[in-house]
Structure 1
Amino acid sequence: MTAPLASLLPLEGLQAPGGGPLYLRLRQLLEEAIRSGRLGEGDALPAERDLADYADVSRVTVRKAVDDLVRDGLLVRRQGSGTFVAKPVSRVQQPLSRLTSFTEDMARRGLETRSEWLERGLFHPSPEEMMMLGLAAGTLVARLGRLRIARDMPLAIERASLSAEFLPDPEAVTTSLYAELEKKSARPVRAIQRISACNVKEPEAGLLAVPVGAAGLSIERISYLASGRVVEFTRSLYRGDTYDFVAELTLGD
């Protein structure tokens, strides 16, 4: 095992003093082997015992380094088979200065999208929905829950709530919610969006095809009409390994 491992995983600097925790240094070496192509898509990672013996570290150190790479989506564990290099994921950038729907955003990139419905219908609103949307007692709320998919890869779970006044028939939404709202002159013109880092839990991890504990982006958005009235309250969960949100900043006077 030593000869092939030496070509796949050079150990320069691994045991150098003052270089930080061993598992992080081993993780960096493994990541560099993947990024450089020495370990390619679908390649099996050597067994933990072999890696530990070769690198002269404990199996706990190896396991911790591998766990990190699995959480980041570079490696994938297959029960009964071992650990393999995962398919590379292309990242999507979304500007924060433009208010668009997922469908419109992907279309501009020339990407085919589809959705799997998780929820769609009219419901009695929760206390949070009543507060966020400014609903009166007895008003129904339209809920749209979707798994958003592009390039046959799940990217996000999106759950939108709107007053039934603006969307009396949720079944009418087939692709873009904003396109449907535009027909009723109720498309939002501005929004306040809050983005925070999170770790993906079950059952969302299963829907997004990521390991439990993988990095995610949790997004809450409140969208407004030109009149200032709230039209939409959305909570979304994006895969952290596929999405970058980009903001353009300018120097103020």
Structure 2
Amino acid sequence: MSQTLSAILPLDSLQAAGGGPLYLRLRQTLEEAIRSGRLSKGTALPAERDLADYAHVSRVTVRKAVDDLVKDGLLTRRQGSGTFVAQPATRVEQPLSRLTSFTEDMASRGLQTTSEWLERGLFHPSPEEKMRLGLSAGALVARIGRLRIANDMPLAIERASLSTEFLPDPEVVTSSLYALLEKTDARPVRAIQRISACNVREPEAGLLGVPVGAAGLSIERISYLASGRVVEFTRSLYRGDAYDFVAELALGET
């Protein structure tokens, strides 16, 4: 077996971990490797099959031990990538006084952004999309859904809906939606945003790399042109451990 596995999970430690169910002993061995730094934050956990073969246990045992550590926030799963040692999120402050895109906001902080596409295309609108965007009967809606990532950490899931008048071809969106809308004088100038606390559920928890039930921020935004026309209806889910929304208040007249 590889030197890496023997270094992070000494079999002697696993066998000497005491009595109790085997998955608990494996869980304790993995936890000790994480807390001691042998498995450093952000490190990918070996595949379940490799762990099972090395520890001479079933994959069910490995999965149960890993599930426990995911629930406790020591490990995180990323869909399509594997399981990783959780690392503390770098908190990001978002002022509520400026209307900016995610790309612009992260760039202003020197953070490198990437996205994973969840949805992009033209669809028959839902009743809520029809109402929010003021769509006529038979009109299609442009949708773009993305997992937003900053410095390799997933921060938010954004799902934007727009009239095809402003976004006739969603496939042309490659980075900042607002930068693209600005080219056609369709960038919004104001928005109404509603923020509420929530608990993250599956499958969103897997996408964001947080335990099921972790604190999240659910955000609904309606963006407008200067004329008052609605441009964009967006529903987003942000990690509660990584994002702070900050509002500046001034004393009003009484």
TM-score by length of 2: 0.68
Residue in 1 that maps onto 2:167: 167
Write the letter of the residue equivalent to 1:221.
Answer: R
Secondary structure of residue in 1 paired with 2:106:
helix
Write the letter of the residue equivalent to 2:180.
Answer: E
Alpha-carbon shift at residue 88 of structure 1 (Å): 2.2
Residue in 2 that maps onto 1:124: 124
Please give the alpha-carbon distance, in whole angstroms, between the structure 1 residues aligned to 2:158 and 2:39: 34
Alpha-carbon shift at residue 151 of structure 1 (Å): 0.8
1:41·1:88 contact (CA, 8 Å) conserved in 2?
no
Please give the alpha-carbon distance, in whole angstroms, between the structure 1 residues aligned to 2:85 and 2:173: 38
How do residues 113-192 of structure 1 correspond to structure 2 at under 5 angstroms? 113-192=113-192
Alpha-carbon shift at residue 201 of structure 1 (Å): 0.4
Please give the alpha-carbon distance, in whole angstroms, between the structure 2 residues aligned to 1:95 and 1:169: 31
1:146·1:159 contact (CA, 8 Å) conserved in 2?
yes
1:42·1:87 contact (CA, 8 Å) conserved in 2?
no
**Is 1:211 matched up with 2:215?**
no
How do residues 24-39 of structure 1 correspond to structure 2 at under 5 angstroms? none
Report the CA distance shift for 1:159/1:70 in structure 2 as closer, same or farther (over 3 A).
Answer: same
Please give the alpha-carbon distance, in whole angstroms, between the structure 2 residues aligned to 1:132 and 1:94: 25
Secondary structure of residue in 1 paired with 2:228:
coil
Report the CA distance shift for 1:215/1:40 in structure 2 as closer, same or farther (over 3 A).
Answer: farther
Write the letter of the residue equivalent to 2:123.
Answer: F
Residue in 1 that maps onto 2:195: 195
Report the CA distance shift for 1:130/1:173 in structure 2 as closer, same or farther (over 3 A).
Answer: same
Please give the alpha-carbon distance, in whole angstroms, between the structure 1 residues aligned to 2:76 and 2:203: 18
Report the CA distance shift for 1:41/1:228 in structure 2 as closer, same or farther (over 3 A).
Answer: farther
Unaligned stretches of 5+ residues in structure 1: 1-38, 45-66, 79-83
Write the letter of the residue equivalent to 1:91.
Answer: R
Q: Give the length in aligned residue pairs.
A: 186
Alpha-carbon shift at residue 124 of structure 1 (Å): 1.3
1:71·1:214 contact (CA, 8 Å) conserved in 2?
no
Please give the alpha-carbon distance, in whole angstroms, between the structure 2 residues aligned to 1:111 and 1:238: 17
Percent same amino acid among aligned pairs? 82
Q: RMSD across aligned C-alpha pairs, in angstroms?
A: 2.3
Please give the alpha-carbon distance, in whole angstroms, between the structure 2 residues aligned to 1:165 and 1:40: 56
Unaligned stretches of 5+ residues in structure 2: 1-34, 41-67, 78-83
Secondary structure of residue in 1 paired with 2:207:
helix
Please give the alpha-carbon distance, in whole angstroms, between the structure 2 residues aligned to 1:43 and 1:175: 34
Report the CA distance shift for 1:165/1:87 in structure 2 as closer, same or farther (over 3 A).
Answer: same
Moved more, 164-173 or 86-95: 86-95
Residue in 2 that maps onto 1:23: none
Alpha-carbon shift at residue 89 of structure 1 (Å): 1.8
Please give the alpha-carbon distance, in whole angstroms, between the structure 2 residues aligned to 1:249 and 1:72: 37
Alpha-carbon shift at residue 76 of structure 1 (Å): 3.7
Please give the alpha-carbon distance, in whole angstroms, between the structure 1 residues aligned to 2:187 and 2:172: 15
CA displacement, residues 95-125 of structure 1 (integer Å, 9 cap, x when unaligned): 0000000000000001100000000011111
Report the CA distance shift for 1:223/1:71 in structure 2 as closer, same or farther (over 3 A).
Answer: farther
TM-score by length of 1: 0.69
2:119·2:146 contact (CA, 8 Å) conserved in 1?
yes
Alpha-carbon shift at residue 192 of structure 1 (Å): 0.3
Residue in 1 that maps onto 2:16: none
2:96·2:245 contact (CA, 8 Å) conserved in 1?
yes
Secondary structure of residue in 1 paired with 2:248:
coil
Please give the alpha-carbon distance, in whole angstroms, between the structure 2 residues aligned to 1:154 and 1:71: 18
Report the CA distance shift for 1:176/1:41 in structure 2 as closer, same or farther (over 3 A).
Answer: farther
Write the letter of the residue equivalent to 1:133.
Answer: L
Please give the alpha-carbon distance, in whole angstroms, between the structure 1 residues aligned to 2:147 and 2:76: 24
Please give the alpha-carbon distance, in whole angstroms, between the structure 2 residues aligned to 1:194 and 1:122: 26
